C-alpha cells in the first residue's frame, strides 16, 4: 500500500486503543485487525453477578464492569476494550477451571454435547460506552477419559473458559462443528468488533 492510498483502518482518526486483558489469545486476535494498540494496566474488578441474571447476559455485564473500572483512568482519545467469555451448557456457566480435576470434570460435561460460547465486549472511552455480545454453538464429539486427561496434562487449559482452546489439540480431534464465529470461541469476535468500532467512532 502506497502512502496516498486510503487505509480501511483510518476511521480511528488518531484514537488510541487499549486492550484490558491478560489473554494472549485476545492480544493475537486484536492484532489481526491491524490496529495499533497497547495493553492496559491491570485493574482489579469484582466479577460477581446476580444469580438471577440470565446466563447469556453475564459476559456483557462483566465486560461493562471491567470497562467502568477503567473509565476514570482514560485520557481523551483513548478507547479501552474489555471482554468476558463463558461457556454455557445445560443452562449452566462454565468459567475457568480451578485446577486439573476441575478441567477434567468440565470436559466430561462438554463431550458429546453442544454448548454455547458467549463473549461480551465493551468499548469505553471517557464519555460513553458501547457493549455487545456474540454467541457461537460448538459441538463436541464423544471423548475418552484418556483423551481428556492427555489434553489437560499436556496443554494445561486452566486459563480458558470451559477448560479448552478450540485452536489446540482438543479442537482438532474433538470438535465436530461450530455454528457462528470461530474467533469468538477463542475469546474475541473480531469481525463484530471491527464493525462496532466503526459505529463507536462515528
User: Sorting pLDDT into bands at 50, 70 and 90, what band is 1?
Assistant: very low
| 5 pLDDT higher than 80 | no
Is residue 3 pLDDT above 80, yes or no? no
Mapping DSSP onto H, E and C, the string for 31-66 reads HCCCCCEEECCCCCCCCCCCCCCCHHHHHHHHHHHH
In the block, cell 486503543 appears at: 17
The residue-averaged pLDDT of 156-183 equals: 97
What CA–CA distance (Å, rounded) separates 145 from 129? 44
Q: Which of 10, 34, 46, 84 is catalytic?
A: 84
Signed CA dihedral, 182, 187, 189, 194: sign only: negative
Range 119-131 average pLDDT: 96
Over residues 140-146, the mean pLDDT reads 98
Model confidence at 155: pLDDT above 80: yes
Report which of 82, 57, 55 is spatially closest to residue 68, judged by C-alpha positions.
Answer: 82
Mean pLDDT throughout 109-120?
A: 98
Q: What would the pLDDT profile of 73-106 be if each residue is shown by its tens digit?
A: 999 999 999 999 999 999 999 989 999 999 999 9
Secondary structure class of 158 (helix, strand, coil):
coil
Q: Mean pLDDT throughout 28-53?
A: 95
Known active-site residue 10: no
pLDDT at 4: 53
Looking at residue 149, its pLDDT comes to 98
End-to-end CA distance of the chain: 25
C-alpha to C-alpha distance for 135 and 182, rounded to whole angstroms: 10
Q: What pTM value is reported for the model?
A: 0.92
Given a cut of 80, is residue 41 above it in pLDDT? yes
Q: For the residues 17-43, what does the mean pLDDT come to? A: 95
Q: Are 55 and 117 in contact (CB under 8 A)?
A: no
Mean pLDDT of 115-142: 97
Mean pLDDT value of segment 121-134: 96
Amino acid at each position: 500500500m502506497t502512502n496516498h492510498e486510503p487505509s480501511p483502518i483510518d476511521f480511528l482518526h488518531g484514537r488510541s486503543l487499549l486492550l484490558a486483558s491478560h489473554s494472549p489469545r485476545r492480544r493475537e486476535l486484536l492484532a489481526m485487525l491491524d490496529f495499533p494498540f497497547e495493553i492496559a494496566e491491570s485493574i482489579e474488578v469484582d466479577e460477581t453477578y446476580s444469580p438471577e441474571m440470565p446466563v447469556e447476559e453475564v459476559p456483557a455485564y462483566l465486560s461493562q464492569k471491567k470497562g467502568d473500572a477503567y473509565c476514570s483512568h482514560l485520557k481523551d482519545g483513548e478507547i479501552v476494550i474489555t471482554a468476558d467469555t463463558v461457556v454455557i451448557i445445560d443452562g449452566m456457566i462454565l468459567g475457568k477451571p480451578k485446577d486439573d480435576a476441575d478441567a477434567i470434570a468440565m470436559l466430561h460435561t462438554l463431550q458429546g454435547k453442544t454448548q454455547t460460547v458467549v463473549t461480551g465486549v465493551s468499548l469505553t472511552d471517557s464519555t460513553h460506552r458501547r457493549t455487545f455480545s456474540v454467541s457461537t454453538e460448538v459441538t463436541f464429539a464423544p471423548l475418552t477419559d484418556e483423551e481428556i486427561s492427555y489434553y489437560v496434562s499436556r496443554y494445561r487449559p486452566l486459563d480458558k473458559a470451559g477448560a479448552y482452546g478450540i485452536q489446540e489439540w482438543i479442537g482438532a480431534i474433538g470438535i465436530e462443528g461450530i455454528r457462528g464465529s470461530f474467533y469468538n470461541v477463542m475469546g474475541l469476535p473480531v469481525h463484530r468488533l471491527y464493525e462496532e468500532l466503526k459505529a463507536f467512532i462515528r
